[in-house]
Chains A and B, each alone.
Chain A
Amino acid sequence: MRDVAVIGVGARPTGRLADCGLKELAYPAIWNALDDAGVGVDDLDVAYVGNSIAGLLTGQEGIRGQVVLQHSGISGIPVINVENACASGATAFRGAWLEVASGAADVALAVGVEKMFVDDSARTISALSGVSELELSQMGMQFTTSYAIHPKINLKARMDEYGWTLEDFAKPAVKNSYNGSLNPLAQHRKPRTIEEVVQSRVVVDPLTLLMCSSISDGAGAAILCSADMAKRFTSKDTIRVASCVLRSGHYKLRDYDGPDTATLCAQAAYEEAGVGPEDLDAIELHDAMAPSELMLYERLGLCGPGDGPRLIDDELTTLNGRVPVNPSGGLCSRGHPVGATGLLQIAELVTQMRGEAGDRQIEKRPKVTLAQNQGGLLMGQDSAVYSTTILTT
């Protein structure tokens, strides 16, 4: 495998973008990434386009990638459409990485785009349910529920097991809302207090509204090339993809007592990259429900069981802590346009590693960073998709 570099990223502000369909959402992010990389459309060898639910919501069920790329001025090259639930973006990124790593392509584009604000939010919620296995969504299973009581995470049980409180659950949301308040790309820019988060409306007991990521429109993009070609396009620091690991969920019988799949995915990414959790300088992780960040600290190897809230109390994961987590504001503040999220994470980390993050710049410029993205829900008690990517300068 060849060394692969990320030489350009693009992200557009997320939020309710009423006048934008998929095409209008995607092209500014794609153009930003191309310009950032110093790459022209003729330099591109291949493109991967991640999207999850626009088929159901807009009726554009097929060829979504070709449609948004043609609208952006890109045609003729191979285009691969990627649907992998809330990890569609990370999966598109992996496809582009693999093309370059394998030598099949020299320059590859990865795009993630999602249009979630439509006429009726019930339609969006139902479409989102569709990224769970049908037998679950037909019974009314929702993502909020899966975080609250699903055996894979069961935040409610963590309250008993670890003594975590609603205030603990609110801590990641509060921390990330501060980061988001500094991010001009973020959907929600109001810094929140513990009281506000705890006292906001209950969505699914014990999760309140401000603990949940919200519906969002958005797009992100990245340009990858063979690391030895990077300087041909850009004078900026070369950021390498040290590992890019994608896993699917395991069918877990009730007596399963092996490691969680997010843990296995992270371990594989650390091993491939030759780094450990202690080496990380920044993390963007999948806090679709804020308290899940506390569980992900464990699964990424940052702390032992139950110690998550302490990492925030001790300011280890705040913007200028030892390992800042979700400097962008994360899914709850920056926004979670599901198929775009994986690429928005990559865009944020690259921006931070180059020292270009403005008000939210981590003072000590990160050199080793990790993006964690996941999605979907299977029968058999596991999420469908897990992704961990490690970037280094």
Chain B
Amino acid sequence: MELLNPKDVRISAEAGATPCLVGAQCGECGAVVFPRLPVCPKCKKRDGMTEVEIGRTAKLYSHTIARFAPTGFRAPFFQVFVDLPEGPRIFSLVGDDCPAESGVLEDGMEMRLVVEPLADTDEMRAIHTYKYVPAACADERRGDAQDA
């Protein structure tokens, strides 16, 4: 699978494993950042940053619907900021299970990470990235998969 930024996302081949983001944590003050940095933005310590798996879940911080799309994207689409339990507040998109046309988002809701094509367009279909979907959508999907 082609990933937009392979260093930022980890997909395990093990059964039952869920994808996650790869951030970095400061050994000095504990700050967690995403994407990784070689220096801590908080205490400025260098080379004390270690890789850490984060972002399997998140809480929706803010959301909107973009009605105009930059090249390669298709409007309308949700754009969101999510709070990861490990600390970072990051920009992301919303997975296909919750499309902008019919999906409902509410700030504060629980989200789950999914890895999906950047956009359903010729330019972007093959390029995958991290997105989030409401936890309820993700659970439903998992249920469907088990039934099948």
Within 8 A of A (CB), among B51-89: 61-73, 77, 79-81, 83, 87-89
Within 8 A of B (CB), among A200-244: 201-206
Given contacts A149-B79, A156-B62, contact A129 B91 (CB under 8 A): no
B22 adjacent to chain A (CB < 8 Å): no
CA distance A156 to B123 in the complex (A): 31
Give the residue of B61, B66, B81 whose beta carbon is less than 8 angstroms from that of A204: B66
CA distance A138 to B93 in the complex (A): 11
CA distance A255 to B119 in the complex (A): 32
Within 8 A of B (CB), among A126-174: 126, 129, 135-142, 144-145, 148-151, 154, 156-157
Given contacts A139-B91, A139-B92, A142-B70, contact A254 B64 (CB under 8 A): no
A157 CB contacts on chain B under 8 angstroms: 62
Are B62 and A151 in touch, CB under 8 angstroms?
yes
Give the residue of A141, A202, A204 whose beta carbon is less than 8 angstroms from that of B91: A141
CA distance A139 to B70 in the complex (A): 10
CA distance A137 to B71 in the complex (A): 11
Are B31 and A253 in touch, CB under 8 angstroms?
yes
Are A125 and B68 in touch, CB under 8 angstroms?
yes
Are B62 and A149 in touch, CB under 8 angstroms?
yes
Give the residue of A136, A151, A203 whose beta carbon is less than 8 angstroms from that of B89: A151
> Count of A-B contacts with CB under 8 A?
96
Are A125 and B71 in touch, CB under 8 angstroms?
yes
A379 adjacent to chain B (CB < 8 Å): yes
Q: Which of B80, B81, B87, B119 gathers most chain A CB within 10 Å?
A: B81
A139 CB contacts on chain B under 8 angstroms: 4, 91-93, 118, 129
Given contacts A139-B92, A141-B91, A254-B87, contact A150 B81 (CB under 8 A): yes
Which chain B residue lies CB-closest to A202?
B67
Given contacts A123-B71, A139-B129, A253-B41, contact A144 B87 (CB under 8 A): no
| Nearest CB on B from A135, distance (A) | 6
Are A149 and B64 in touch, CB under 8 angstroms?
yes
B18 adjacent to chain A (CB < 8 Å): no
| Nearest CB on B from A153, distance (A) | 11
A204 CB contacts on chain B under 8 angstroms: 64-68, 79
B42 adjacent to chain A (CB < 8 Å): yes
Are B67 and A126 in touch, CB under 8 angstroms?
no
A381 adjacent to chain B (CB < 8 Å): yes
| Nearest CB on B from A256, distance (A) | 9
CA distance A212 to B19 in the complex (A): 37
Are A138 and B67 in touch, CB under 8 angstroms?
no
Contact with B along A344-359 (1 / 0, CB 8 A): 0000000000000000
B41 CB contacts on chain A under 8 angstroms: 251, 253, 380
CA distance A253 to B89 in the complex (A): 8
Are A126 and B71 in touch, CB under 8 angstroms?
yes
A381 CB contacts on chain B under 8 angstroms: 89
A122 adjacent to chain B (CB < 8 Å): yes
Give the residue of B4, B70, B93, B119 whose beta carbon is less than 8 angstroms from that of A125: B70
Contact with A along B90-124 (1 / 0, CB 8 A): 01110000000000000000000000001100000
CA distance A206 to B89 in the complex (A): 21
Interface pairs A-B: 10 shortest CB-CB: A251-B41, A149-B62, A126-B71, A254-B89, A148-B64, A205-B64, A149-B64, A145-B79, A140-B73, A126-B70
21 contacts between A and B (CB under 8 A): A122-B71, A125-B70, A126-B70, A126-B72, A136-B91, A139-B4, A139-B129, A142-B66, A144-B68, A151-B61, A151-B62, A154-B62, A202-B65, A202-B67, A203-B68, A204-B64, A204-B67, A205-B64, A253-B31, A254-B87, A379-B35
Q: A140-B93, A202-B67, A253-B31 are in contact. List 11 more A-B contacts (CB 8 A).
A: A122-B71, A135-B8, A138-B118, A138-B129, A140-B77, A140-B118, A144-B66, A149-B63, A204-B66, A205-B64, A253-B42
